[in-house]
Amino acid sequence: MKVLSSVSKWLMYVAFGMSVFFQTATAQIDLNKTEPERASAAMILEQPVNDARIKNRQHELVSSIAAGADGKQIFIAWYTGGKGEGPGNYVTLAVSLDNGKTWKNDQLVVYPKEATTRFFDPVLWRDKNGKVWLFYAVGLKTKEKQIWDLKGGVNAISIAWNGKKVTHSQPSLLSYGIMMNKPVYIPQKDMALFPVSVWQLGKDNSKDPEYVQDGTFIHSIDYKANSNVLETYGSVPVLADSMRTFDEHQVVQISGKGELLCLLRAKPGIYYSRSKDFGKSWSTLQPFTASGPTNSARFYIGKLQSGNLILILNSSKTRNNMTAFVSKDGGKTWPHKLLLDNREMVSYPDLDQTHDGKLHVTYDHDRSGAKDIFYCSFREEDILEGNTESIFRTRINPLP
């Protein structure tokens, strides 16, 4: 049994019931038992197409994408509901069965049981075994315009398409905090790293009874140990409080020798840190300037089947010019780029690549106005050639 350090004692672990993804260990605290209200705050609505509860959509934002293992289904999740970011927010899931051409909306909805609960910031991820997971954040007893309750909570359900509808496991609470970006699988260690953060947001909340240790954490699941337990693994250094905002960090593997790159959102823009020991320790954060200007918004960084890295972000100081970049030298330079959308108010991209090499991307636009959730697809070769004519784009969510 491992002895937990003082930093890691705050982390709560969770069992996934009969799932093979996580298992309970005797020394761990199961948040599903110690925080039952937080763990069971959702009702899962299956295909609630005509349900009046999901008609209040005054904003739509923060989409994530993942395809099934065979590429025959593409899932996109985002959150909506209520007057803005606050109580009443819920997560909705759409699915495409024809390679992104058309979409079935509201196939699954994660809806709050209480009016003061919010569900937000969904992340879709296909694990090493091909199973698709939907992660989402929870906030309890929130007031109007309150987006953070100091604890948050990373929830998870597995999802699949059975030919008629989306099937799912029961929700489970993994840990406190928020996970805004996909985990990454590290084959050399047979483990997955989970970028979980507990927001500080410029205020010292350490004396609040709801406070848990804030920080920018790297948690892990070690598959080869057959424990399949979410554990504290590493921690990325935090910036000064005056520069820190929503720590929307993501990790990508640079080499098989332990080199990882982490990008992180800060008030001035995107910052980066590097690890040489598979994510246990990290360098001091520095401004990320290799691709040009950045702004304070979520991005996507990952590794393609070719071995090259891909980065999608607002190549600007504002939320416009959504651009995909490719690096062939481990993230040192990003000379290849493809402009996806030059409009204002485009943000928060996410990406998945299917076995046929196609790149599938989602992002939002004009969250409270047009309320667009977009899907687009293209190939790595299109980025290398700057071929904007190859981009397929469609709006996913129904028009108001």
DSSP for 124-161, written as a single string? EEE-TTS-EEEEEEEE-SPPTT----SSB-EEEEEEEE
The tokens describing 226, both together, are: 């057959």
Task: Answer yes or no: is 400 within a domain.
Answer: no
Average of pLDDT values for 203-232? 85
- What are the structure tokens assigned to 328, written together? 């062939």
Residue 153 lies in a domain: yes
pLDDT tens by residue, 339-366 = 999 999 999 999 999 999 999 999 999 9
Report which of 258, 145, 266 is spatially closest to residue 197, judged by C-alpha positions: 266
Residue 243 domain flag: no
User: Is residue 103 included in any domain, yes or no?
Assistant: yes
Domain total of the chain: 1
The token pair at 131 is 């199973």
Q: Which two tokens stand for residue 57?
A: 């959509």
Specify the 3-state DSSP secondary structure of 184.
Answer: strand
Distance of CA 370 to the CA centre of its chain: 23
Compare 142 and 122 and report the one with higher pLDDT: 122
Residue 376 lies in a domain: no
- Could you report the per-residue pLDDT of 289-348, keeping only the tens digit for each? 999 999 999 999 999 999 999 999 999 999 999 999 999 999 999 999 999 999 999 999
Q: Is residue 112 part of a domain?
A: yes
The span from the CA of 391 to the CA of 84, in Å, is 31
User: Residue 234 falls within a domain, yes or no?
Assistant: no
Q: pLDDT at position 8, please? A: 34
CA-to-CA distance for 388 and 73, rounded, in angstroms? 25
Judge whether residue 16 has pLDDT over 80.
no
Alpha carbon distances (Å) from 279 to 30, 46, 78, 261, 276: 25, 38, 29, 9, 7
Q: Hey, what are 29's tokens?
A: 């605290």
Q: d(Cα 393, Cα 376) in Å, to the nearest integer? A: 4
Query: Which residues, in sequence order, are bridge partners of residue 286?
Result: 272
Give the range of the structural domain holding residue 82, as residue numbers without chain letter.
Answer: 7-179
Q: Specify if 68 maps to a domain.
A: yes
CB 362 within 8 A of CB 375: yes
pLDDT digits 0-9 by tens, 246-280: 999 999 999 999 999 999 999 999 999 999 999 99
Is-contact 161 115, C-beta < 8 A? Answer: no
Q: Are 92 and 119 in contact (CB under 8 A)?
A: no
Distance CA 262, CA 310 (A): 13
